[in-house]
Structure 1
Amino acid sequence: MTISKGLRKTAVRGALVLSLAALAGCSLFSRSDDRYRPAKLTDFTQEMEVGTAWTVSVGRGGGVGFAPAVTDTAVYAAAADGSVVKMDLASGNVQWRASVDGRLQAGVGSDGQTTAVVRPDGEVVAFDDTGTEKWRAKATSEVLIPPAVGEGLVVVRSGDYRIQAFDAQTGERRWSMQRPGPSLALRAVNQMLIAGGFVFSGLPGGKLVAMDTNNGAVLWEGTVAVPRGASELERVADVVGAPVVSERLLCAAAYQGRIACFDVSAGGDVVWARDFSGASGMTVDASSAFAADSHGIMNGFLLSSGTNVWRQDALANRRLSAPASYGRAVAVGDYQGYVHFLAREDGRLLARTATDGDPILAPLVATPYGVVVQGTGGSVRLLTTGG
């Protein structure tokens, strides 16, 4: 992962938060409208074997604010009941468990040295890498997405559209940046990214920003979506998932907006953009970008040009997670706890495996050992493939 220094040369009120189901007119599972009915699982010729290397019960509960954090050797995860766990990536052996008094609203963020979670009142709780609590600090309002941890910072985005950075060692607030936002925002799985001296974050309203880790100054801002429509509901156009970096490209997808890549070496110019309504985020590999749209249609794009090379509608309306590119496949989870593996080159179904039946909202994470999956019930597992 590289970030060009060229980007550095370019220099409220709380929102009513809506779920994707609300924006679909609460008809996602309506018996009277087949347009929103989840597609039934179809038979296909399985071309790939999928196994489970390990499974760990982290705790009880999860949701859009929970996602695993993965380093070279470990997986960190949290559950709504206050549990925080570090697992060995290769074996799944639990290396430590910690517990926060009361429940959690969001987590987990970790760089392998500091691990952070957030309570419902906006209190950020940080642990060292033995599972010992280091500090607590208060965000200005509730936090609905996992903290980002890296480069000596713990960064949170609160519901008042403020992004705040705390010192990873002491919990002292280092900087704060706030932008005005719309009165309606989408409650979807979102994440920030820290890389190359920048904090990258999508914002409600379709903006993607890059901030200096030193002081929070906004060095670049790009438009992924332009809100349109006669009503506030129609104008909801939020960046979903996590921004993705691949060499000189910074990419993101938005609900009721676009999927787009920007050239960070050239001051953030748009390389390509396509009309697209994302629901859960995207992933990239060396040559392709992959994302599910808000109807559960999986798409494959050429990373260089944005050309849409395939669409797969077999998983329509199955509330797909953000995908992970792993080997010759793209893996994606659904609302019934299935993980589907699609061919990178044409999107055909290669394999399917069941987990524990809990919805998979968290983005899947590809690692050298397999694909890390966290369900809303509080379990984390590593899936491996062969064939």
Structure 2
Amino acid sequence: MTRSVRASQTIKSNTLKKTAMQVAVVALMATAAAGCNRGIKPEVNDPVKLVQIAQPISFLQPVFSVNAGKNASKKDPLDLQVGYENGQMVVAGRGGDLTGYDSNGQRLWSFNVGEEITGGVALDAFSQTAVVSTRGGRIIALDSSTGAKRWQKQLSGSVLTPALITNNRVILSANDGFLHGLSLQSGQSVWQFATSLPAISVRGAAAPTLLDDTTALIATADGRLHAITLDNGLPKWSRRIGIGTGSSEVERMSDVDGQPVIDNNQLFAISYSGQLLAIDLASREVMFVKELASLKSLAVNSQQVVATSLEGKVVAYDRRTGEVLWESEELAYRKLTNPVMIGDYIAVGDLDGIVHLFDPATGTIVSRVETKGALSSLQVDGSRLMTQSKSGQVAIWQLPR
């Protein structure tokens, strides 16, 4: 099948696009109802009830949990991700508290930035640096072993996602459309790169990721991926991922808020407007485009790429061909987190604080563990799974030894 045919199929996916816009439309209708007509009630789908697992396996073992304080409000439900690397952990609370822990959950230090934190923790164990951002656009770097403040930098816009720390650079994507490269040592601005900012976008952003040793890959609210040199911020290439169609600004939203995944010289990314794209980085050719809408990052193993959709579907695709291997609607409308690979299983969190473990071969849920509060994100570091709830509860789970 030619690339033009794939593009045509993507653009014609009106049904999926309407589903993808459900979150924004509901929000806009709710706002209109509050100001104009309180009798209007947007349609909201109830989360499906969970089916009991016949013979659940015992898989993840709890290590410890901590409470970082309230991380989200109904007006601004941001995801404050945990910084975790090589046994170090730094947790951010919405009120401005940062706390460092060792691998056993022993509290080492605490620091308050004096303002609401909007971007989760970026942690670089090699340089012993933790970086967070605040509502007012301040970027703050701390010594991750002691909590001592190293520097701060004021940006023109706030940052809603963790930074990328690599090659003596701190790479950030601000909500005013500017990408920033700061000096890791001093916080001074080394470069800026301006991107197109749509009139309306989803509240959120994708964290920058490392494309190769010299290049950062950054997704933006206009549905594009930008490959930017780490050293001086020069663009290498740009590609549109999200393709929004329609007559209104809302219908044309095409945000890429899930962090792109680079694995074995393949790039995977997904958009709010309903396109999951796979690219062969060696040839820069599109391998496949599938119709699915999401604001969450993808999970990839040696054979599959797995996504959670806006409607709560969990779908596994063949990573080479894009063929659907299985699809589960057992968690429909349960406000799912990003999927992650942990051991031999796929983990997905939901609005009740439950982590569901899927068998990647069959798509069957084989185990569950439970924490407190609606989960906002899952992270994996080696044999450990980090769960973070919107109420600020952070839990660490360990694979059986």
Report the TM-score when normalising by structure 1: 0.88
> Counterpart amino acid of 1:225?
G
What is the match of residue 343 of structure 2? 327
CA distance in 1: counterparts of 2:52 and 2:157, whole angstroms: 47
Equivalent residue pairs, number = 364
CA distance in 2: counterparts of 1:157 and 1:102, whole angstroms: 19
The CA deviation at 1:34 is 7.5
CA distance in 1: counterparts of 2:90 and 2:162, whole angstroms: 12
Q: Secondary structure at the match of 1:346?
A: coil
Whether 1:167 aligns to 2:183 is yes
The CA deviation at 1:65 is 4.0
Higher relative contact order (CA 8 A, sep 6+): 1
After superposition, the Cα gap between the structure-2 partners of 1:205 and 1:370, relative to the gap in structure 1 and judged at 3 Å, is same
What is the match of residue 56 of structure 1? 66
Whether 1:177 aligns to 2:193 is yes
CA contact (8 A) 1:65 1:146 kept: no
CA contact (8 A) 2:205 2:256 kept: no
What is the match of residue 22 of structure 1? 24
CA contact (8 A) 1:20 1:187 kept: no
CA distance in 1: counterparts of 2:189 and 2:25, whole angstroms: 35
What is the match of residue 242 of structure 1? 259
CA distance in 1: counterparts of 2:65 and 2:79, whole angstroms: 21
Which of 373, 376, 384 aligns to 1:361? It is: 376
The CA deviation at 1:127 is 0.6
Q: Secondary structure at the match of 1:344?
A: coil
> Counterpart amino acid of 1:353?
V
Alignment of 1:90-101 (within 5 A): 91-101=104-114
CA distance in 2: counterparts of 1:21 and 1:269, whole angstroms: 32
The CA deviation at 1:269 is 2.2
After superposition, the Cα gap between the structure-2 partners of 1:189 and 1:211, relative to the gap in structure 1 and judged at 3 Å, is closer
Whether 1:186 aligns to 2:202 is yes
Which of 31, 47, 52 aligns to 2:56? It is: 47
Unaligned runs of at least 5 residues, structure 2: 1-20, 31-39
The CA deviation at 1:335 is 1.5
CA distance in 1: counterparts of 2:319 and 2:295, whole angstroms: 19
CA distance in 1: counterparts of 2:41 and 2:70, whole angstroms: 34
Q: Which moved more, 1:288-297 or 1:192-201?
A: 192-201
Q: Secondary structure at the match of 2:171?
A: strand
Q: Secondary structure at the match of 1:228?
A: coil
After superposition, the Cα gap between the structure-2 partners of 1:27 and 1:233, relative to the gap in structure 1 and judged at 3 Å, is closer
Which of 302, 308, 314 aligns to 1:298? It is: 314
CA contact (8 A) 1:27 1:36 kept: no
CA distance in 2: counterparts of 1:151 and 1:23, whole angstroms: 41
CA distance in 1: counterparts of 2:387 and 2:295, whole angstroms: 18
Q: Secondary structure at the match of 1:279?
A: coil
The CA deviation at 1:52 is 1.3
CA distance in 1: counterparts of 2:170 and 2:162, whole angstroms: 10
Whether 1:139 aligns to 2:155 is yes
CA distance in 1: counterparts of 2:89 and 2:383, whole angstroms: 12
CA contact (8 A) 2:205 2:220 kept: no
Alignment of 1:1-387 (within 5 A): 21-24=23-26, 36-49=45-58, 50-62=60-72, 63-89=77-103, 91-112=104-125, 113-129=128-144, 130-188=146-204, 190-195=206-211, 196-266=213-283, 268-356=284-372, 358-362=373-377, 364-385=378-399
Q: Secondary structure at the match of 1:345?
A: coil
CA contact (8 A) 1:46 1:349 kept: no
CA contact (8 A) 1:48 1:385 kept: no
Unaligned runs of at least 5 residues, structure 1: 1-18
After superposition, the Cα gap between the structure-2 partners of 1:34 and 1:298, relative to the gap in structure 1 and judged at 3 Å, is farther
After superposition, the Cα gap between the structure-2 partners of 1:289 and 1:339, relative to the gap in structure 1 and judged at 3 Å, is same
Q: Which moved more, 1:124-133 or 1:71-80?
A: 71-80
CA contact (8 A) 2:62 2:398 kept: yes
The CA deviation at 1:210 is 1.2
Q: Give structure 1 regions of 4+ aligned residues with deviation exceeding 6 angstroms.
A: 31-35
